[in-house]
């Protein structure tokens, strides 16, 4: 091979391309893997590093190598990987001149690493691909893959960086498959960053996508249930829980028991939590740090509550020493049990709530205070009597009833001064309530039987001409844009 390469130095420039391409084909056709790797290396080094050969010839040689490897010229996967890595190393010093061919080689190497489940190496190769001259659609596909791979390595920080880049490229013209991949990345990013409510909604949306495999849809539905249970307790979570409870597919999931108890605001027992914990991923079991203010607040009221316990009904009982939740799951369970206790009691002492949640009385007060401040719990705190008073949460009832269709319709109407309009509104409400009641008693098999297909009804809702550009501008200015 060295002698043949030396002969090419003396021929005219216009014949060099054909000469190098012939030698490359000859090298790839050899039966021995070691000889193939050695001769391909010699051809590439001569064609890409010698100035007298020229960039045009080098591009043709690399393009031929890319085409040959894609066509199966290297029958052994390890040999193909070795050739691609060798070619990338040789072309690296002049990578700008061979950008298109180098990108193609990196894609091939990325596919090989994906087969080996080397997620870290796969992501590293994809991040090295130059996308400045690529179309938005191609960039979005690459960014989606990078986000997925980085999340496999649980590198959520870098994954979020590439997710933000992908978010700027999503528009109405994105094909369905790419759009679904982006939404999955969005759901997983929200999951890893503990935005469980948003993640649950997105997972549930994807679980209805017909393009997704049935097994994958079941996994997404299970992920939606998990995130809904881990989400902060309050009216917003109740809406998502109601939506999931209405979904008949959730009854087949192992986590349906804890889903139903969470939706119905029932106390979660340690055995049930332990069973649910076994289904969680590592980031959903991450430990959380307790702020210094919370620790001070928990310890400041401990003495007073200990004294009350010694003289009150709790005399002789051990007081918990926990000053707050230790994990993401622990926090979700404690907040849920606190909300559930508000449905049982009109009021409760700091000591009693601490005993119920297995927290110090001061820590229980701190958790209740924070939930009241955030509007997730209706009530008030009496510091003198060391009592927490709970109020009826009409907003929470509305979230469970109207949004989920599992409650009663509120018959209170605004006095508009128009009696006929008011009567008509009441008739509409009653009709809607009766229809909802009938639907709740119908089985799907009964509804979907003996139907005659009449055709499809298609609605078209075009965007305004400047909608995409406006959304991009808002996203670039650090505004959250929920449209995808």
Picking from 95, 99, 105, the residue whose alpha carbon sits closest to that of residue 40 is 105
pLDDT at 2: 66
Is the pLDDT confidence value at 308 over 60?
no
Is the pLDDT confidence value at 401 over 60?
no
pLDDT at 65: 80
Cα dihedral 432, 437, 438, 439, rounded to 10, equals 90
Determine the length of the chain. 484
Q: Residue 233 — φ and ψ, nearest 5°?
A: -65, 140
pLDDT at 228: 92
Looking only at the bridges linking them, the beta strands covering 387-390 and 347-349 are antiparallel
Is the pLDDT confidence value at 305 over 80?
no
408 pLDDT band, cuts 50/70/90, is very low
3-state secondary structure of 183: helix
What pLDDT digit, counting tens, does each position of 182-214 carry? 888 889 999 988 899 999 999 999 998 888 888
CA atoms of 312 and 306, how far apart (whole Å): 10
Residues 102 and 91 sit within 8 Å (Cβ to Cβ) = yes
Buried b vs exposed e over 270-309: b needs ≥16 C-beta within 10 Å?
A: eebbeebeeebeeebeeeeeeeeebeebbeebbeebeebb
pLDDT at 19: 80
What pLDDT digit, counting tens, does each position of 336-377 carry? 888 888 888 888 998 888 888 888 888 888 888 888 888 888
Bridge partners, residue 482, by sequence: none
Is the pLDDT confidence value at 440 over 50?
yes
Residue pointed to by tokens 């649950």: 200
pLDDT at 203: 92
The model's pTM is 0.63
Among the ranges 15-19, 21-25, 160-164, 438-442, which has the highest mean pLDDT value? Answer: 160-164
pLDDT at 363: 85
What pLDDT digit, counting tens, does each position of 51-90 carry? 677 778 777 877 888 788 777 777 777 788 888 887 888 8
pLDDT at 223: 92
pLDDT at 468: 76
Is the pLDDT confidence value at 483 over 70?
no
Mean residue pLDDT of the chain comes to 78
């Amino acid at each position: 091979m060295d002698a043949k390469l030396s002969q090419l130095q003396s021929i005219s420039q216009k014949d060099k391309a054909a000469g190098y391409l012939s030698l490359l084909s000859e090298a790839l056709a050899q039966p021995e893997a070691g000889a193939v790797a050695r001769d391909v290396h010699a051809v590439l080094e001569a064609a890409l590093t010698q100035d007298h050969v020229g960039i045009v010839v080098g591009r043709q040689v690399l393009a031929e190598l890319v085409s040959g490897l894609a066509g199966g010229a290297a029958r052994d996967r390890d040999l193909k990987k070795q050739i691609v890595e060798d070619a990338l190393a040789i072309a690296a010093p002049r990578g700008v001149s061979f950008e298109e061919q180098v990108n193609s080689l990196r894609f091939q190497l990325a596919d090989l690493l994906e087969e080996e489940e080397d997620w870290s190496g796969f992501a590293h190769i994809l991040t090295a691909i130059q996308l400045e001259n690529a179309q938005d659609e191609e960039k979005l596909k690459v960014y989606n893959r990078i986000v997925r791979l980085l999340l496999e390595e649980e590198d959520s920080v870098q994954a979020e960086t590439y997710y933000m880049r992908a978010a700027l490229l999503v528009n109405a013209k994105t094909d369905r498959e790419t759009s679904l991949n982006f939404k999955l990345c969005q759901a997983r990013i929200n999951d890893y960053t503990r935005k469980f409510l948003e993640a649950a909604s997105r997972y549930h949306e994807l679980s209805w996508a017909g393009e997704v495999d049935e097994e994958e849809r079941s996994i997404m539905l299970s992920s939606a249930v998990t995130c809904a249970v881990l989400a902060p307790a309050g009216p917003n979570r109740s809406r998502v829980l109601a939506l999931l409870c209405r979904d008949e597919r959730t009854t087949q999931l192992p986590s349906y028991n804890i889903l139903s108890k969470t939706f119905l605001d029932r106390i979660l027992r340690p055995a049930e939590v332990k069973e649910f914990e076994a289904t969680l991923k590592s980031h959903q079991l991450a430990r959380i740090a307790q702020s210094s203010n919370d620790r001070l607040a928990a310890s400041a009221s401990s003495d007073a509550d200990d004294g009350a316990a010694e003289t009150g009904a709790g005399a002789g009982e051990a007081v918990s020493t926990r000053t707050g939740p230790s994990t993401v799951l622990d926090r979700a369970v404690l907040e849920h049990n606190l909300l559930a206790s508000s449905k049982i009691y009109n009021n409760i002492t700091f000591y009693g709530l601490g005993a119920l949640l297995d927290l110090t009385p001061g820590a229980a007060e701190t958790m209740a205070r924070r939930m009241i401040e955030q509007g997730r719990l209706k009530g008030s705190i009496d510091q003198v009597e060391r009592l927490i008073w709970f109020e009826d949460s009409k907003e929470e009832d509305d979230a469970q009833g109207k949004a989920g269709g599992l409650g009663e319709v509120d018959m209170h109407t605004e006095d508009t001064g128009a009696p006929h309009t008011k009567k008509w509104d009441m008739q509409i409400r009653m009709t809607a309530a009766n229809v909802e009641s009938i639907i709740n008693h119908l089985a799907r098999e009964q509804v979907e039987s003996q139907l005659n297909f009449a055709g499809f009804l298609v609605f078209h809702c075009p965007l305004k001409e400047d909608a995409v550009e406006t959304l991009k501008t808002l996203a670039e200015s650090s505004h959250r844009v929920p449209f995808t």
